[in-house]
Structure 1
Amino acid sequence: MHDPNHNPWKTLSSAEKYDNPWINVTQYEVINPSGNPGIYGKVHFKNLAIGVIPLDEDMNTYLVGQYRYPLNAYSWEIPEGGGPLGVDALESAKRELLEETGLKASEWTEVQRMHLSNSVSDELAIIYLARNLEQFEAEPEETEQLVIKKVTFEEAYLMVLNGEITDSMSVAGILRVKLMLT
């Protein structure tokens, strides 16, 4: 009988290969599940991935457009960013929403927790729905050149279906909220 809690991997040794304020990369010498020696690389994220789907009383949402350096491409996505480990994720979500869109919300619902790339990383994402919005001034970070686009939630949903939104947190969050609303 299969025990889902049994780890079939055996770690022989580990060596840190890279470290910066956001990630740590470790290489492991392992015995894999079939009993053969091998290596495994793991990217450890030093922040939570935080996403917010702001939804106003008219069923509009706000997308953030920005050039994503690792993809070498422009991306439309929900407001998102990093939340330090050990800091309440909801507080990080509130900060990200204000920072990127200038919005504050009085009603918050956690809608999704997900691992973003469980084959090579331990990054955990938490996505919130933010309602009862109030507009203030955005406070983007120096690394962010953002365009904010207000669209109907239905338009954002269609952008996911049409492949115009490909960011995994945005796709999962928008689909989850669509299910919640129907």
Structure 2
Amino acid sequence: MATYGYARVSTDGQTLDAQCDALLAAGAQRLFQEKVSGAKADRKELARAIRILDQGDLLVVTRLDRLARSTRDLLNVLATIAEKGAGFRSLADPWADTTTPHGRLMLTVLGGLAEFERELIKSRTSEGRLRAAERGVHMGRPGKLSRHQREEARQALVNGGATQADLARRFNVSQATISRLAMTA
């Protein structure tokens, strides 16, 4: 069972020293450090730290905002750590400690609230889409071909005068676009 520390700052002008000192004082045997914005999904050192976690290991950060950029991101990272059978602890947030029953409870409640929020957002989004469709709003990206071009391509397909590949080149679209037209011809 090993204890790993993860330290992150957002800009080159900031220093990792205080975080590293706190993590070492908390018993971290190995540190993973990076200077990258928390808004970036691709945090290579965090991914490396999580990748080496084994059953019973512990990942420690100084504060939750060093680990995740949002509640959803935090829950995803913690789920990945839990799948490895490892624990997590934030030094500045004692309630965020998956090695204690209270910490697991708090994170479970937080996870439940985040799931509830996701369901509300999904419901509101679906309702908004339905109302927009009722008003005749077109969803999705605009079509590549005009109505006239679609008719012309369909006629060429029906009359057998052109292959799908020929039509795709002629109208400067993918062959899949012409193939979808062929299904409606």
Q: TM-score, normalised by structure 1?
A: 0.24
Of structures 1 and 2, the larger Rg is shown by: 2
Q: Which has the higher contact order (CA 8 A, sep 6+)?
A: 1
